[in-house]
Chains A and B, each alone.
Chain A
């Protein structure tokens, strides 16, 4: 286990983008807010306006409003960047070491190919999302600290208006849950990109993209059907339908306004993995993903082109 942590740390050393990318998101959001207020003269963050705005929210709904309308949506840009970081990381993870021949150094150490590939898959599934989540939570906390001063300046009580309704554990819990189920649900994609990375002699990106495109074209040409693209589409949207009690709460912005004012209780109530865990798509995905990862391990071990 400690070996696995060492291997994962190695991945973080090699890829500072794991934390630099979400930090850039934070920087851009801070700059955007500052520009909005200072340059374009938006008034929402001016102290008196801001306190008035916060006082409009009913106390009972305050936690849900903050959580669902302010804090959770702020994760969306981080999530988008996260997808790109994971994608480019996976594409590189078994390719770069062959390109610069450092694979011979890694292979000169008592670490098996299975351990190495597992550490890279674990990095994509858990490490990168976790680092993103931590940067996001720290940024959110910092943002609340700034808001505290604004509320003070506007004559409000920062405790009742802000901190008493800061659902940090609920938000962290819901995002952790979402990232976790998605990592498992998307294992076929993760395995495919890792396999392309282990396979490509050059330009793994082309393999990642062109092989599925080729399958779609061949299928359309031969059978006139669109099963494969349909499967990919179902895979992309499936997890969002299967892992929450009410998909709309999380994703439909219009309905969200109604829902949050009902003040139904904890944000965490939307978590419900039962439909996911009882779906064939989930377990089938694990099997397919596992097969692709096994193929990547096999290639790293048996390929002799260094």
Chain B
């Protein structure tokens, strides 16, 4: 399995504020990575560094390229959707397809047409005549018709309603993703993507505070709804986070064996959202 992204000691300052603080990670082929963090944590900065859109300090290789120096070469093998609003308003749907076809060696226009035929988007319409959801569909159709190894989605469904969002991720998973492709997604709507992720990264104040596979997370993190009489015993095991739900304590443990915890109360695997809150508040 190839390693697509290799980052060592990635740092970036904006003036006196630190956007990325000595971050190291790697991303292998065939993963769907959720990059999750609060606003201003450094997600977009990290993605921009990966895409060669902004300079940084440290070591970064994306598909073997130095992204900042070799951006145009890199873009033959990487695609990204930064935000739904970025397709130019004057561009016609047919022109978008024609343009990408002519500048991108790995674009398959028939495939893009096929995706678009399943939507209500008409080829002679301009982007400004499309609804926000349609613009996202158009962008997704363009991107999915490009045969690249790495796809980066930065808040791709921002401002779209839940039907579009569900459809967006479903299409991505069913019609696009396979073991040769890799996707990195940032979003605030964690619940909606958690079932498609293979890996999870949390970023907080420019630092990577969690970087694990979903399988590991299920093994390592256990949430327990502690019976009232077991509260003290549970606290002795050192939960990383606790909160009360209907008068009971809900505790999150890391690295404590599940068998051990089952004596304390009802156990289950925490949702990404709960894990996120616990990780962010726990420090």
Contacts and interface: CB of A to CB of B under 8 A. Distances in A.
Interface of A: 2-3, 6-7, 10, 13-14, 97, 100-105, 107-113, 115, 301-302, 304, 306
B125 to A, nearest CB: 14
A105 B88 contact: yes
Contacts of B76: 110
B90 A13 contact: yes
Given A3-B102, A6-B103, A302-B55, A110 B91 contact: no
Interface residues of B, number: 32
- 3 pairs of A and B residues whose beta carbons are closest in the complex: A112-B72, A102-B88, A304-B54
A7 B100 CA distance: 11
B80 A108 contact: yes
B85 interface: yes
A107 B71 contact: yes
A14 B89 CA distance: 9
Contact of B79 (A13, A108, A111): A108
Nearest to A102: B88
Interface string B108-135: 0000000000000000000000000000
B102 A2 contact: yes
Given A108-B75, A110-B72, A304-B55, A102 B86 contact: yes
A204 B112 CA distance: 37
B88 A107 contact: no
A187 to B, nearest CB: 25
Contact of A104 (B72, B73, B83, B103): B83
B166 interface: no
Given A13-B95, A104-B82, A109-B104, 4 more contacts: A10-B99, A104-B80, A105-B88, A110-B72
Contacts of A108: 51, 75, 79-82
A103 B81 CA distance: 12
Contacts of A101: 82-83, 85-86
A178 to B, nearest CB: 31
A2 B101 CA distance: 12
B258 interface: no
B61 interface: no
Interface of B: 48, 51, 53-55, 71-76, 79-83, 85-92, 95, 99-100, 102-105, 139
B49 to A, nearest CB: 10
A105 B87 contact: yes
Contacts of B92: 13
Contact of B53 (A10, A97, A102, A107): A107
A100 B91 contact: no
6 contacts: A7-B103, A97-B88, A101-B86, A107-B51, A108-B51, A110-B72
B73 A110 contact: yes
Given A304-B54, A306-B53, A110 B103 contact: yes
A13 B54 contact: no
A7 B104 CA distance: 12
A180 to B, nearest CB: 27
Nearest to B48: A304
Contacts of A110: 72-76, 103-105
B67 to A, nearest CB: 12
A113 B86 CA distance: 18
A304 B88 contact: no
A30 to B, nearest CB: 29
B148 to A, nearest CB: 10
Contacts of B81: 108
Contacts of A301: 71
Contacts of A109: 75, 100, 103-104
Nearest to A14: B90
B89 A100 contact: yes
Contacts of A115: 72
A270 to B, nearest CB: 41
B159 to A, nearest CB: 14
Contact of A105 (B48, B73, B86, B104): B86
